[in-house]
Structure 1
Amino acid sequence: HGFKEYCALLFMKGALLNDANGILIQQTENVQAARQIRFTNLREIVEMETILKAYINEAIEVEKAGLKVDFKKNTELIFPEEFQKKLDQSPALKTAFDALTPGRQRAYNLYFSAPKQSKTRESRVEKYMQQILNGKGLND
C-alpha cells in the first residue's frame, strides 16, 4: 500500500467488535475480519481516548474468549477472458499460477479483473506473466 493521509489503529478481528460508535472502517470490500479506526491528526486520538480504550478492551475480551471470524468460503476464481486465454495457451503459466498461494491467486485475479477495457486487462496480464512464472505474488 502507498502512504496515506491518515494513521490507523487496526483490529485484526474488528468484525467481531460491537462498534457502538460506528467508527470502525473496513479497509476494502474484500477484507473480511480486520477493521480500522483512522486518524488524521493527534487531536482526534486525544479526543477519542476513552472510546479507544473501550474498543481495545473489547478486542482483548474477544481474544480471551477465543472467538473466531466466520470467513466466507473461498469460491472458485472466475478469471477474466484475457487471463484465461493465457492460462490455456501456456501450461507453464497455469502450473506456476496454480502453485501460488490462494491469497496471491486472488490478488492477481482482482487486479486483472478490475479494468473495464479489455486492452487494459490484457496489458496487466502481459506485464505480470513473468512474475507469475517466477512464483512471485503481485506485490513481491
Structure 2
Amino acid sequence: MTKSIENPKVDWYFSEAEKWQEELDQLRMIILECGLTETLKWGVPCYTFQDRNILLVHTFKEYCAILFMKGALMPDSHGILIQQTENVQAARQIRFTNPREIVKMKSVLRNYIYEAIEIEKSGVEVPKKKTAEFPMPEEFKNILDKNAALKKAFEALTPGRQRGYLLHFAAPKQSKTREARIEKSMQDILNGKGLNDE
C-alpha cells in the first residue's frame, strides 16, 4: 500500500496532546505508512480503509493506544490485544507507555494493521450479544412492569441504546443508586434518546 498523507484537520489532536506526544507522532507515522485515510471521528484520530473504520488512536491518563474496531476478530499472534472492559464486544486495544515500545513493535504493528484491513475487506462482522443477554436490574424491570409507556419507549430504542441503559443501570452496587439512575433517565427514554444523546 502507498503511504497516506496527514490530514490537516487532525493535526490539532497531535499538536495539543499534553502527554504522549512522541508516542502519538510515531503511531501516526506507522499507521499512515499502511495506507489508511486519516480523519477525525468521536473527537479522536480515526483511520479508515474505503470509508470503513479500521482503528482509532487515543490517549488516557496511564497510556496511549491504538484501538482496532474489529479487534475481537484478529488472530493476536503476539498476545498484545486488550479488551478494555468485559462489556466491549468488538474493539481491542494495544497500549503504550513509552516511545521505545512503539519503535520495538513497529513491524508487528504494521502486520496487525494489515490484518485489520483484511478483516474489514472480508466483510466479517463481530457477533454481538443480543440485548436479552444483558442483565436487566430488578429495579428497572419493576418500573417497566408498572409503566406501559416507558416499557414501550424502551422497547422502541435501538438495541445499542437499550444495552447502554442496561449497563448504566446495572453498574451501581446499591439499589438506591440504580433507582436514581433509572429515574434520571426515564424522560430521555420516553423521548427516544440514548444514554449519551444530546
> Normalization by structure 1: what TM-score?
0.84
Alpha-carbon separation, structure 2, partners of 1:45 and 1:14: 18
Contact 2:83 2:91 in 1 (8 A): yes
Q: Structure 1: where are the runs of 5+ without partners?
A: none
User: 1:71-99 CA deviation, whole Å, 9 max, x = no partner?
Assistant: 15515254212111221222221121111
Letter in 2 for 1:62: I
Describe the shift of the 1:139–1:24 C-alpha distance in structure 2 as closer, same or farther (beyond 3 A).
same
- What is the deviation of 1:33? 2.3
Q: Could you tell me which residue of structure 1 aligns to residue 18 of structure 2?
A: none
Match of 1:104 among 142, 152, 161: 161
Letter in 2 for 1:103: G
> Which stretch of the first structure deviates more once superposed, 120-129 or 33-42?
33-42
- What is the deviation of 1:40? 2.6
Please state if 1:83 is matched with 2:174: no
Letter in 1 for 2:174: Q
Alpha-carbon separation, structure 1, partners of 2:131 and 2:107: 40
Alpha-carbon separation, structure 2, partners of 1:7 and 1:139: 24
**Which structure exhibits the higher relative contact order, with contacts defined as CA atoms closer than 8 Å and separated by 6 or more residues?**
1
Q: Could you tell me which residue of structure 1 aligns to residue 84 of structure 2?
A: 27
Alpha-carbon separation, structure 1, partners of 2:167 and 2:131: 13
Identity %: 67
The root-mean-square deviation of aligned C-alpha atoms, in Å, is: 2.2
Alpha-carbon separation, structure 1, partners of 2:84 and 2:66: 12
Alignment of 1:35-46 (within 5 A): 35-46=92-103
> Normalization by structure 2: what TM-score?
0.62
Alpha-carbon separation, structure 2, partners of 1:62 and 1:102: 24
Contact 1:15 1:69 in 2 (8 A): no
Q: Structure 2: where are the runs of 5+ without partners?
A: 1-41, 43-58
> Which stretch of the first structure deviates more once superposed, 26-35 or 106-115?
26-35
Count of aligned pairs: 138
| Higher percent of residues as strand | 2
Describe the shift of the 1:7–1:137 C-alpha distance in structure 2 as closer, same or farther (beyond 3 A).
same
